[in-house]
A and B are shown apart, each in its own frame.
Chain A
Amino acid sequence: MGSTVTQQIFQQIVNGLSLGSIYALIALGYTMVYGIVKLINFAHGDVMMVGAYSGWFAITALHMPFLPALIFSMLSCALLGVLIERIAYKPLRNATRIAALITAIGVSLFLEYGGMLLVTAQVRTYPPVFPETRYEIYGVIFKYGDIVMLVTSVVLMVLLHITVQYTKMGKAMRAVSFDKDAALLMGINTNNIISFTFAIGSALAAAAGVLMGVYFNTIDPLMGIIPGLKAFVAAVLGGIGIIPGAMVGGLALGLVESIVSGLGASTWRDAVSFLILILVLIIKPSGLFGKNVREKV
């Protein structure tokens, strides 16, 4: 039975939103870290990869069902994120931007190639965690897995929003983002807040990793590179440092990618992301939700 154009469009939208929610989860980590320490954490995509592997380990070796595996993965990557920050980034807090950026890339390479040494470049497969049930509404197919992914992403984003807006920690995070020195003077332990931010960002990336494993079935040590870059584009699109921006940017990018694939130009899919990046930087570098800040002369 053939599907109509409308059905195809809706199918792409569904696919796009699923993919987009994964990008959003990763983008959130980028944006929160940039907001708080003005660092582009190039290693973030690779943290996602570690999350995917942790989840895989939990499911295959520890025989955990989906939800506990997800939590296990999130916790281990939260720890990883804090470790990376303390060891590699903290010493460079007052260094030049280029030094910090290079260090981040160094950590990224370490995770990628260290990972290759550890688990070999061989691709691993996620065992099926969800029933193969499919739902069909007006010819558009929703897999059980799609729905779980979307719901998980949304739940996590809502939890994040609540944490940032309504808890004391969240308020402290926002204060440190705004003005680190002033926050310090107000008695906020900025080091802990920064670690906390890295922990949350990494946990979200881990969740994204597990979801990617479920969605795409296969994982490999270099899987974090391209989604990491794309999530970064999403964060810039929404406005780097701005949390709702990362969510919107992620979803938007997922949709655009889906449409491009749907139009048959999937080899150009990656180029489209970079094109969006360049366009944003040229037209409005502060992103959709961002404000322009002048340098004082």
Chain B
Amino acid sequence: MRNLFNRQNIVALLGIVLLYAVVQGLIVSDIMPPFYKLTLIQICIYIILATSLNLINGITGQFSIGHAGFMAIGAYISAIITTILNGPLVLGLLAGAIVAALAGILVGLPTLRLKGDYLAIATLGFGEIVRIIFLNTEYVGGAAGFTLPSKITWTWAFGLMALSVVLMKNFVNSTHGRACISIRENEIAAESMGVNTTKYKVMAFTMGAFFAGLAGGIYANYFYIIQPMTFNFLLSFNILVMIVLGGLGSMTGGIVGAIVMTLASALLAGVPEWRNVITAVLLVIMMIFRPTGIMGTKEFSLNFLGKKSEKNAASKN
């Protein structure tokens, strides 16, 4: 790839625009049933959540299972801005994401020395603390929750999702992304090769938190109400399952996992008592027989469209 305007990027852009247009057409002409639209927007939200968690867990190898906490922060902050302070939606979403990112720095810095299981439970604790704080804060409605008007449309949801995925993919396919991957592969060797592992671990957390906060803001401004009990460990766990199912370390995998799980959840919506049991059983079976997930660490790539000479010289992106 020599510059921004290459074959792969143009094809990708066309595909994205086409997908958006088709769905938007169906919505505007009232063909699409409301439940389908809801599911599609949910898929967008979960794609952002899954890929942002993948940045932390899959790409950088840090074991984080408190992602719902970042989402909650984004949700509540954006809700406050759009509702109580009557600000524009863009500002609310941005503020939610930024505050979540700050939380990411706050969580990342002290917990960086922890490895594996210990880091996991620290992030679990963080997620729970955030939920309990919102539970006990009357300003945002406490346990009853916070109601707000629904301003998010398919355009917003899809647009933000596409933007988020593109930005994250750009990060991963760069020297900075490679630095994060090297930390995952062998942290000590990465340090010895001149990678400032502290800086990159915090960066991964912060970015992951930023996008989770954005997803939270989209969620809040679509579903009319947000309650602390939504942002519990089960939610964090579901996001984790999405990226493991899709393939830890693969951005495409995160997208696939998000789509599959959200669709499955929608299909099983009629039998909520069975949904969780089936998920649990399938999960255990998958862990035993195919723990690398659907994609493994491979990505879906449009590299086959590239020029032949470029393909031979370029590395696997």
Contact = CB atoms under 8 A, between A and B. Distances in A.
Are A and B a genuine interacting pair, yes or no? yes
B90 interface: no
* Among A97, A109, A295, residue most surrounded by chain B Cβ atoms (within 10 Å): A109
B111 to A, nearest CB: 7
Interface stretch (A48-56, A88-96, A159-167): A88-96
Interface string A90-116: 011001111111110111111011101
A135 interface: no
Given A91-B288, A96-B291, A297-B188, A278 B125 contact: yes
Interface of A is mostly: helix
Contacts of A62: none
Contact of B287 (A106, A117, A232): A106
Nearest to A88: B284
A277 B277 contact: no
A267 interface: yes
Contacts of A270: 128, 132
Contacts of A117: 273-274, 277
B116 interface: yes
Contacts of B124: 229
Interface string B108-125: 001101101110111011
Contacts, number: 112
Interface string B272-286: 011011011101100
Contacts of B188: 295, 297
A285 B114 contact: yes
Contact of B118 (A96, A233, A285): A285
A271 B288 contact: no
A96 B247 CA distance: 13
B242 to A, nearest CB: 11
A41 to B, nearest CB: 11
Contacts of B240: 102
A277 B126 CA distance: 9
Interface residues of B, number: 40
B128 to A, nearest CB: 5
Interface residues of A, number: 42
Contacts of A100: 287
Contacts of B116: 97
Contact of A114 (B63, B111, B244, B277): B277
B114 A281 contact: yes
Interface in B150-173: none
B237 interface: yes
A92 B63 contact: no
B126 A102 contact: no
Contacts of A103: 283-284, 287-288
A268 interface: yes
A105 B233 CA distance: 11
A267 B136 contact: yes
A255 to B, nearest CB: 20
A284 B122 CA distance: 13
B41 to A, nearest CB: 26
A122 to B, nearest CB: 13
B121 A281 contact: yes
B180 interface: no
Interface in B256-310: 273-274, 276-277, 279-281, 283-284, 287-288, 291
8 contacts: A92-B291, A95-B291, A105-B283, A271-B128, A274-B126, A281-B114, A281-B118, A281-B125
Interface of B: 57, 63, 110-111, 113-114, 116-118, 120-122, 124-126, 128-129, 132-133, 135-136, 188, 234, 237, 240-241, 244, 248, 273-274, 276-277, 279-281, 283-284, 287-288, 291
Given A105-B237, A278-B126, A285-B114, 8 more contacts: A95-B291, A98-B63, A109-B277, A271-B129, A271-B136, A281-B111, A281-B122, A285-B118
